[in-house]
Structure formats: C-alpha cells, structure tokens
Amino acid sequence: MISLGRAPTSVASVVAEPLGEADCEVLGGGLVNQPTNTVSSLAYLVVGIWLLSRLGRIHRRDRLWAGMYGAMLALNGLGSVAYHGPQFTGASYLHDLPVVGVLLIGALVPTFRRFTHEVAVPGLTRRILGLGIAFGLVAGVGYVFGRTGSPICDPTSYAQPHGLWHLATAVLMGLWALAVWPAARSTSGER
C-alpha cells in the first residue's frame, strides 16, 4: 500500500514558516510583529480609499469595476496590516486574496475592452507610464533587497526595503487605476 503521509493535525502544522519571516524585519511579537512593514501596509488602504473617493468622477459604466478594484486594494491594506501586525490565523488569506482580486480586475477590464473594440487603457499617458516604470523599478528594488538574507537586510532597522515595496506597489496600483478608469470628461453634465 502506498502511504501519502499523515494529514495535518492543526493549521500550525501546515505553515512552513512564520508570517513575514521572509520580509527581513525581525518578528517582534505582540500586536505589531513588524512595525515598519505594518505601517507601510497602510499605503494600500489609503490608495484604495482614495480610489473609492473618486468614483463619482469616472464614467458611470466603469464605477462597479473601479469600485471593486479600490475595495480590493483597501482590503489588501487591511490584510497586509494583519499579516505583518498581529499575524492571527487567516491573516495570510486576508493578505493574499485581495491581491488576486486587484490583479484580476486590473487585467480583465482592459482585456474585455479590447475584445469589445474599446480603448483598453483610456487614461494611459506618457506621464502615467513614466511614473509607472519608475515606481515599478523602486518596487522591484524594494522586493529584492527586502528579503531576509539580502545584502542590505538589517532585521532590527526601521528602514525596511519591504516597506518600500509596499509604498511603491500601492502607488503603482493607483496609477494603473488612473490609466484604466480616468476621470470622465463631462459634455452634458452627466458622467
């Protein structure tokens, strides 16, 4: 008989490493395990709320998807705070699932527009593209150097490159939303 091993007896036995362990910052314990990464995670919440606050300025037909994108981004902020902060059971799901939502919505809306012969990304300007490239590079640097074991990793420092990853990707997601859902130009007073 072939043995497939024993089934896990608890959630803790499935987890390979503590949450946030690969993100350089020391795990301090308590309500805020990784202070810098917890605080920098709030950037997703702030950008998500900002995107939700501008729904009235975009075309009515785009508000549902733009609202879902903003809500998913805000939820990612809360999930990332839970992931780097108190790290309770399920925090990794709150951290990861909204990211999937943001990426799916951010990719599917332009794809659908292409299939319906609309401009896929109507608000994409050279300025947004240039800023996107710049913040993408900053995010990449923050990710690579924000890993535990990177040459500049100092787990006890408040200057955490992974926090830079949070800030840069939050701005990047906000820029993408501006490109996909630009403010509507009003000709008759209705948007």
How close are the terminal C-alpha atoms of the chain, in Å?
A: 67
Tokens coding 113: 């527009």
CA distance 186 to 181: 14
Neighbouring residues of 174: CB distance < 8 A, sequence distance ≥ 6: 47, 50, 51, 73
- The CA angle 84-86-91, to the nearest 5 degrees, is 70
CA distance 107 to 158: 34
Neighbouring residues of 182: CB distance < 8 A, sequence distance ≥ 6: 58, 122, 123
The tens place of each residue's pLDDT in the chain, 191 residues long, gives 443 434 444 444 444 467 888 999 999 888 899 999 999 999 999 999 999 999 999 999 999 999 999 999 999 999 999 999 999 989 999 999 999 999 999 999 999 999 999 999 999 999 999 999 999 999 999 999 999 999 999 999 999 999 999 999 999 999 999 999 999 875 554 44
- The CA angle 48-49-52, to the nearest 5 degrees, is 90
Give the per-residue pLDDT at 62: 96
Neighbouring residues of 102: CB distance < 8 A, sequence distance ≥ 6: 69, 72, 73, 76, 173
Give the per-residue pLDDT at 20: 86
CA distance 126 to 187: 25
